[in-house]
Amino acid sequence: MKIIMLGAPGAGKGTQAKKIAEKYQIPHISTGDIFRANIKNGTELGKKAKTYMDQGLLVPDELVCDLVVDRVKQEDCKNGYILDGFPRTIPQAESLDAALAALGESMDYAINVEVPDENIVNRMSGRRACVGCGATYHVVYAPTKKEGICDACGAELILRDDDKPETVQKRLSVYHEQTQPLIDYYRNKGILKDVDGTMEMDAVFQAITEILGA
C-alpha cells in the first residue's frame, strides 16, 4: 500500500500519516527525515543535498526524488509506505512516477485532507510552543493547565513566527500555487481520494481507513 498524503500546511496530514503508519505497520516517510538521515550518515546523496542546504538553496527536484526512491527501496518499505511532504510540485510527481515505473511500481492512493484556509489560520494561530522543552499545545484543542505555562517543564509558551496569521496566509498562498495542481494530477490518474479534514481527528482517520479498505 503506497500512499501520498496531500493537504495544506496545518491540515493535519502529518498526524494522520503517523496514525496510518502505526495501523498498517508501514513507514511514514517525510523528506525532512530523509535529508537528516542521509546527511547524518554521510551518504553520497546526503553530501550533495547538504551542499545546497548550506548555501540556503532548495535541493533540486531530481536529487530529492533520488533520495526518496533510495528510501522506498529499503526493506521496511516492501509492504508499502506513506510519503508526507513529497511530491510538492508536478515535476516532482512526474519524476517520482518515472522512477517508480522503472522499478515496476506505482502509487496506490493520494489522500487529500481538505480544510478551508480560514480554519487553518484559526487552528495554527492557536498553537503554542514551549521555549524550554519544545512541547506544543493549542489554546482551544490542547490547552495547558496554567495559561501560557508548559505542563511538562514549567517554561513559558510562545506563538511561533511560523504560526502567526500573516505567515500562515503566505504559506497557504504558496501551497495553492505549487501543490494544488498535484490534486488535479492525481485526480486524473484516478488515485485521488478527498477527506474532510474539518472533522474530529479520529473521524478523519476513520474516513481514511474506509478508503484504504481497513
pLDDT at position 24, please?
94
Taking a C-beta distance cutoff of 8 angstroms, is the pair 112, 137 a contact?
A: no
pLDDT at position 109, please?
97
% of the chain with per-residue pLDDT over 90 = 66
- In the structure, what pLDDT confidence band is assigned to residue 185 with cuts at 50, 70 and 90? very high
Instruction: Indicate whether 102 pLDDT > 80.
Output: yes
Active-site pick, 88, 164, 187, 193:
88
187 in catalytic set = no
3-class secondary structure per residue, the chain: CEEEEEECCCCCHHHHHHHHHHHHCCCEEEHHHHHHHHHHCCCHHHHHHHHHHHCCCCCCHHHHHHHHHHHHCCHHHCCCEEEECCCCCHHHHHHHHHHHHHCCCCCCEEEEEECCHHHHHHHHHCEEEECCCCCEEECCCECCCCCCECCCCCCEEECCHHHCHHHHHHHHHHHHHHCHHHHHHHHHHCCEEEEECCCCHHHHHHHHHHHCCC
**57-63 contacts, C-beta under 8 A, 24 or more apart:** 59/35, 61/89, 61/91, 61/92, 61/95, 62/95
Active-site pick, 19, 48, 50, 160:
160
Active-site pick, 71, 123, 127, 128:
127
pLDDT at position 179, please?
82
For the chain, list the domains and their CATH numbers.
Answer: 2-115+168-211 (3.40.50.300)
34-47 pLDDT tens trace: 888 899 999 999 99
Mean predicted confidence (pLDDT) in 158-167? 90
123 in catalytic set = no
- In the structure, what pLDDT confidence band is assigned to residue 214 with cuts at 50, 70 and 90? low
pLDDT at position 9, please?
85
Active-site pick, 2, 13, 71, 128:
13
53-70 pLDDT tens trace: 888 888 888 888 999 999
114-123 pLDDT tens trace: 999 999 998 8
Active-site pick, 18, 48, 164, 171:
171
13 in catalytic set = yes
- In the structure, what pLDDT confidence band is assigned to residue 158 with cuts at 50, 70 and 90? very high
3-35 pLDDT tens trace: 999 999 888 888 899 999 999 999 999 888 888
128 in catalytic set = no
Phi and psi torsions of 24, nearest 5°: -100, 0
pTM of the model: 0.81
pLDDT at position 126, please?
92
